[in-house]
Homo-oligomer: A and B are copies of this chain.
Amino acid sequence: MVSENRPALRVDVRRPQRADARRNFDALLGAARDAFAAKGVSASLEDIARQAGVGIGTLYRNFPTRQDLLNAVYFGEIEELCIAAEEAASLPPWEALTAWLQRFVGYAATKRAIWESLNRETDSFQAAREAMYAAGTPLFVRAQEAGEARADVSFDDLLRMVSGLTAAGYVDQAQRDRVLAIALNGVRAH
């Protein structure tokens, strides 16, 4: 029932009609996601097109500006994040929160890259952020009401903390999880 009420978060980019065109569209989105995560916002669009196995012209037909491509990747991630929040709702309070934050970690790598060019608040970006906050806040409030999370910490503080931790460089995956656990320990009510 929740998923039906979730606002659609539609972008003005629409998926093409023909089968081959849809394949290219999806390949471009995938390549863009990888490239932005790996090289930041300044990733070469020609590289992305090459990686997707299409011509540069095809990229520009689907995404007229760099910002359009960035938006498409970004909104896709946000949408998945909202769905993850719904799925986590069935877990116990603290586990639900940390499970969702784990998913956020995967998203934050992309977000960081996009933030670089999106920090002036576009209204579409604003809407996406609100959708994400709407999805995550209940999890956090529930953990607070259960006495598991500190009451004097805001959800915004928490998200920015996790977002920052994710963007840092680590020796391996294990260290990242360890560091995240240390920081989350600071959020826990004792």
Contacts and interface: CB of A to CB of B under 8 A. Distances in A.
A161 B167 CA distance: 10
Contacts of A158: 182
B164 A167 contact: yes
B160 A179 contact: yes
Q: How large is the interface on A (under 10, 10 to 19, 20 to 34, 35 or more residues)?
A: 20 to 34
Label chain A's interface by main secondary structure: helix
A169 B119 contact: yes
B167 A179 contact: no
A155 interface: no
A88 interface: no
Nearest to A115: B169
Given A42-B42, A170-B160, A175-B160, A153 B165 contact: no
Interface string A158-190: 101101111111110001001100111111101
Interface in A108-144: 115-116, 119
